[in-house]
Amino acid sequence: MQSATPPSAAIDPEKPRSFAQRALTRLLHVYFRFARGMTFGVRAVVLNERGEVFLIRHTYVPGWHFPGGGVEVGETAELSLERELSEEAGIAPTARPVLHGLFFNRRISRRDHVAVYILREFRVEHVKQPDREIAEAGFFPLDNLPQGTTPATRRRLAEIMSGQPPAKEW
């Protein structure tokens, strides 16, 4: 299930986003501003017994991230996490995930918050194939993350692996 990106195809998360990416992000946030007072998302840090973490690379934003997404109206955070894991990773929890922290994501919006859960007990239901949303997905060794892993993803992993308390901001 591991996926590797050749250096020439890797996207640098520190590189400025294209005009189209910025416009799409802005348009979505204008929509969410009227549709929802605050945006709330979930992400899963899926860790296996081999010391690997599951990461995804979206088709519409640069970098490697934890799987996750927005919590829908009437949906619990854990139910949203299960849905997103199934859609983006082909993974199903076999035990309740543990909440690592709740983060203010100022970089995205002044209204965005992300709940990060740690999941160590799960089953892989199917190998995630690329689609319109997910370009690549796979398990990666913690000491050899793919080029383009976002700084926030690296910070969350550092907190979890060292036992540090979570930061307040993404």
The answer to whether residue 104 is domain-embedded is yes
The answer to whether residue 19 is domain-embedded is no
> In this structure, are residues 71 and 77 in contact, taking their beta carbons and an 8 Å threshold?
yes
CA–CA separation, 14 vs 62, rounded Å?
Answer: 9
> In this structure, are residues 139 and 2 in contact, taking their beta carbons and an 8 Å threshold?
yes
Please classify residue 126 by burial: count the beta carbons closer than 10 Å to its beta carbon, then call 0-12 exposed, 13-18 middle and 19+ buried: exposed
The answer to whether residue 154 is domain-embedded is yes
CA–CA separation, 137 vs 130, rounded Å?
Answer: 8
CATH code for the domain in which residue 121 is found: 3.90.79.10
* Amino acid occupying residue 119: L
The 10s digit of each residue's pLDDT in 95-108 is: 999 999 999 987 76
Give me the number of domains the chain comprises: 1
The 10s digit of each residue's pLDDT in 64-102 is: 999 999 999 899 999 999 999 999 999 999 999 999 999
* 153: containing domain: 37-162
Write down the pTM of the prediction: 0.78
